[in-house]
């Protein structure tokens, strides 16, 4: 239960103000000017009950002694929390970094502090991180689950805390709020865009078929094809891990049977890898073969050719996630909500000129 492994719990634990003066407390302030601690507390919390003159004296003394409010102690007594935990895959991923930035901005504006945790896409590490974070009694949690997360395990780590917002990946079995991108609509828009450019043979390239986001994107792709009276060809559904290397390696599979003229890619990373693979076999992306991505990572704009993709505005999604969680905190008993965030097609050169 309590694995006592970390240095912070052992003898190496550090005192917050070690080597410095002892922290000033409400008692110090109260004693200094001859009022009770209760009065000081009321001043701190901005109560209108305090005599204006008493208030002034207290405030002067707070300043004089450089009093620092101990929010942890207050939260303990009041049984409240002023922190929110944010658990994501990895900040090295610009998408999550932007998302985290938006979350922190929106939370900070409401007086909450962000407790950060990263899973590195590992369910085991996720469990450890969640356990640690819960010990800090956050008011709520924003979680972008690691691939392969198990709802039961996650719920276990979360204890009875009901204030959870899931982002990006749904965990069925947990009745938690959920914010997702409109994957289906995005892939639909990309596919329709290629069809409008005159393409008839369009592949869907990359992603793991069993991941929910890949499934949704394939659905949007199929929908656009169906609307145009085009058929989904099974060997045009090509899986690939979402990294550049594997995507490049698998690009040959597009040329195994009937050769498509365009590919809707699972995401930008895959698209960039595919473009690499195409170029290395003498097929020039954007001219000989049209490619679209998903995410609009910063490299998309500067790639050669620049990548047509779907912008998701991760920073705005972060703000939105924070808002949704704050609403949940206001009404913990409300029914879980599912929110789908819009995505927008950004046309660049990789989807090429009109063909045919």
Partner DNA sequence: CTGAAAGCGCTTACAG
Give the footprint of DNA on this chain (CB under 7 A). Answer: 22-23, 25-27, 34-42, 44-45, 48-51, 53-54, 67-70, 73-74, 76-79
Least Cβ distance, residue 52 to its own copies (angstroms): 16
Within a 10 A sphere around the Cβ of 89, how many other Cβ atoms? 21
* Residue of the chain from 32, 33, 44, 279 that contacts its own copies (CB under 8 A): 44
State how far the Cα of 278 lies from the Cα of 133, in Å rounded to an integer: 45
Greatest pairwise CA separation for the chain in angstroms: 89
Segments of 23-74 assigned E as strands = none
Cβ–Cβ < 8 Å for 33, 58: yes
Least Cβ distance, residue 187 to its own copies (angstroms): 25
Cβ–Cβ < 8 Å for 268, 242: no
Interface with its own copies, residue 335, by CB under 8 A: no
Interface with its own copies, residue 282, by CB under 8 A: no
* Residue closer to DNA, measured from CB, 5 or 92: 5
Least Cβ distance, residue 192 to its own copies (angstroms): 28
* Residue of the chain from 91, 151, 232, 249 that contacts its own copies (CB under 8 A): 91
State how far the Cα of 292 lies from the Cα of 309, in Å rounded to an integer: 5
Choose from DNA, its own copies, none: what does 337 bind? Cβ within 5-8 Å by kind: none
State how far the Cα of 141 lies from the Cα of 107, in Å rounded to an integer: 12
Least Cβ distance, residue 128 to DNA (angstroms): 19
DSSP 343: -
* Residue of the chain from 34, 234, 333, 354 that contacts its own copies (CB under 8 A): 333
* Residue of the chain from 26, 35, 50, 100 that contacts its own copies (CB under 8 A): 100
Closest C-alpha to 250, from 232, 262, 237: 237
Interface with its own copies, residue 143, by CB under 8 A: no
Return the range that interacts with its own copies (CB under 8 A); candidates 111-119, 180-188, 191-199, 248-256: 111-119
Identify the three-state secondary structure at position 168.
Answer: coil
Residue 73: which H helix or E strand, with range? helix 71-78
Interface with its own copies, residue 12, by CB under 8 A: yes
Least Cβ distance, residue 191 to DNA (angstroms): 53
Least Cβ distance, residue 353 to its own copies (angstroms): 21
Choose from its own copies, DNA, none: what does 27 bind? Cβ within 5-8 Å by kind: DNA
**Which two structure tokens, joined as six digits, stand for 37?**
């601690």
Choose from its own copies, DNA, none: what does 35 bind? Cβ within 5-8 Å by kind: DNA
**Which two structure tokens, joined as six digits, stand for 311?**
């912008």
Reduced 3-state DSSP string for 233-261: CHHHEECECCCHHHHHHHHHHHHCCCCCC
Return the range that interacts with its own copies (CB under 8 A); candidates 168-176, 197-205, 263-271, 330-338: 330-338
Choose from DNA, its own copies, none: what does 39 bind? Cβ within 5-8 Å by kind: DNA
Within a 10 A sphere around the Cβ of 116, how many other Cβ atoms? 14
Interface with its own copies, residue 279, by CB under 8 A: no
DSSP 349: G
Interface with its own copies, residue 49, by CB under 8 A: no
Choose from its own copies, DNA, none: what does 133 bind? Cβ within 5-8 Å by kind: its own copies
| Residue at token pair 């939370």 | 107
Choose from DNA, its own copies, none: what does 231 bind? Cβ within 5-8 Å by kind: none
Choose from its own copies, DNA, none: what does 113 bind? Cβ within 5-8 Å by kind: its own copies
Choose from its own copies, DNA, none: what does 36 bind? Cβ within 5-8 Å by kind: DNA
Count residues binding its own copies (CB under 8 A): 90
State how far the Cα of 251 lies from the Cα of 249, in Å rounded to an integer: 6
Cβ–Cβ < 8 Å for 168, 181: yes
Sign, Cα dihedral of 88, 93, 99, 104: positive
């Amino acid at each position: 239960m309590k694995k006592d492994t970390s240095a912070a719990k052992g003898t190496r634990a550090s005192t917050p103000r070690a080597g410095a003066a002892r922290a000033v407390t409400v008692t110090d302030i109260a004693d200094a000017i001859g009022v009770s601690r209760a009065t000081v507390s009321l001043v701190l919390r901005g109560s209108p009950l305090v005599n204006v003159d008493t208030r002034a004296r207290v405030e002067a003394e707070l300043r004089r002694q450089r009093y620092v409010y101990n929010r942890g102690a207050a939260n303990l007594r009041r049984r409240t929390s002023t922190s929110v935990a944010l658990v994501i895959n990895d900040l090295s991923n610009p998408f999550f970094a932007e998302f985290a930035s938006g979350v922190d901005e929106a939370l900070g504006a409401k007086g909450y502090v962000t407790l950060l945790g990263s899973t590195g896409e590992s369910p085991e590490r996720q469990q450890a991180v969640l356990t640690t974070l819960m010990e800090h009694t956050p008011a709520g949690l924003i979680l972008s689950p690691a691939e392969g997360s198990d709802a039961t395990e996650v719920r276990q780590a979360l204890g009875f805390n009901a204030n959870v917002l899931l982002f990006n990946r749904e965990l069925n079995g947990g009745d938690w709020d959920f914010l997702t991108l409109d994957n289906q609509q995005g892939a639909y828009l990309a596919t329709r865009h290629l069809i409008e450019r005159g393409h008839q043979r369009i592949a869907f390239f990359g992603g793991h078929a069993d991941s929910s986001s890949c499934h949704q994107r394939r659905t949007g792709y199929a929908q656009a094809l169906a609307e145009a009276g085009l058929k989904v060809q099974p060997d045009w559904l090509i899986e690939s891990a979402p990294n550049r290397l594997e995507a490049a390696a698998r690009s040959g599979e597009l040329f195994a049977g009937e050769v498509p003229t365009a590919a809707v890619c699972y995401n930008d990373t895959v698209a960039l890898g595919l473009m690499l693979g195409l170029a290395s076999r003498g097929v020039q992306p954007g001219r000989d073969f049209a490619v679209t991505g998903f995410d609009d990572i910063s490299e998309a704009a500067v790639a050669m050719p620049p990548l047509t993709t779907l912008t998701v505005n991760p920073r705005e999604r972060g703000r939105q996630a924070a808002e949704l969680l704050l609403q949940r905190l206001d009404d913990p008993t409300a029914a879980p909500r599912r929110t789908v965030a819009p995505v927008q097609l950004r046309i660049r050169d990789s989807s090429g000129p009109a063909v045919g």
